[in-house]
Amino acid sequence: MSELNNIVLKILSNKKGILAADESNGTMTKRLDSVGVKSSPESRLKFREVLLSSEEGMKNIGGVILYDETIRQKTESGKKIPELINSFGSVTGIKVDTGAKKMVNSPVETITEGLDGLRERLEDYYELGARFTKWRAVIHINKSYPSELAINANAHALARYASLVQEAKMVPIIEPEVLMSGDHNINRCYEVTAKVLKECYKELKFHEVDLKGTILKPNMVLPGDRCSIKSNTEEISEMTLKCLKENVPPEVPGIAFLSGGQSEIEATQNLNAINKINDTNFILSFSYGRALQQGALKIWGENQEDVLNTQKIFTQRSKMNGLASVGQWLKELETK
């Protein structure tokens, strides 16, 4: 297990975080459509390769989560994508769940699937170069939800997944995402996030998962996107850290927040504020998708040959989040 702990530290230490480039083909198609680019295996690879081949941008990226299609692709020069990632000292990761599916007798809640055949798929991904994995549980929140069933079922699935991943000599990312969509206030988000985390670690312990060889990927404690009462950065950082301290066991070495609908600047600013008051032994870093890629995607969509400026935007976001991961980000640096 010390080897798994070393992988965690390699991914998250020294101002590094995770690039979540594991969008499904459907999600990536929507992203490309939004900038006027036709989606295809070639165009999806082309954009990702621009980011992954950025020497400066990858300096603050300790790990990259890929989708099944991407981990099997090669660059124009014939180099395999995991080889490209590893060439910058980063670690290759892979999304292994098969998506959130509607729960029986529930109009909105979901259970994440993908346990069937997972052991065999993990062997394949290890051979392809993956050394960490991701499984996302989706927790809906409003006045009626989440139900006990949804919390328990998703925590159980996360624990079964994590135990199989460690058996395959890889690091599991535990991602129980309490969604930001809704009109709930920050106190309701805190209450639900605490409950979800508590149940997850109860199941992980029951399944004898070694927490020192895991990464937690939680949501920050935030008000819903339709909530009329907005919260400032100080409140968000204090409540997020309090929630983690009370519900995440100290053996967990690293926590990489998801951005969950925040803007690029908000995700960086809130991460920085949390680290400024971090009095724990947790490494608190980032595992961002849109919050690392959106600005670069817009530039690339305007001119797919403009690799330099696309990489420049990606490098800026990567660098800003690297600083935020140790509480050294300043707003004025955004304009430099």
Active site residue 175: yes
Tokens coding 136: 């996302």
Please report how many Cα atoms fall inside a 13 Å half-sphere around the Cα of residue 265, on the Cβ side: 6
Which member of 15, 59, 95, 217 is catalytic? 217
- DSSP lists the bridge partners of residue 74 as 80
- DSSP lists the bridge partners of residue 61 as 17
Q: Which residue from 334, 335, 329 is spatially nearest to 272, judged by alpha carbons? A: 329
Question: What is d(CA 152, CA 200) in angstroms, rounded to the nearest whole number?
Answer: 8
Q: Is residue 237 within 8 Å of residue 271, measured between CB atoms?
A: no
Rounded to whole angstroms, what are the CA distances from 334 to 75, 121, 268, 309, 310?
31, 41, 10, 16, 16
Active site residue 217: yes
Which member of 49, 109, 175, 203 is catalytic? 175
Residue 172 Ramachandran class (φ > 0 left, ψ -120 to 50 alpha, else beta): beta
Please give the positions annotated as active site.
175, 217
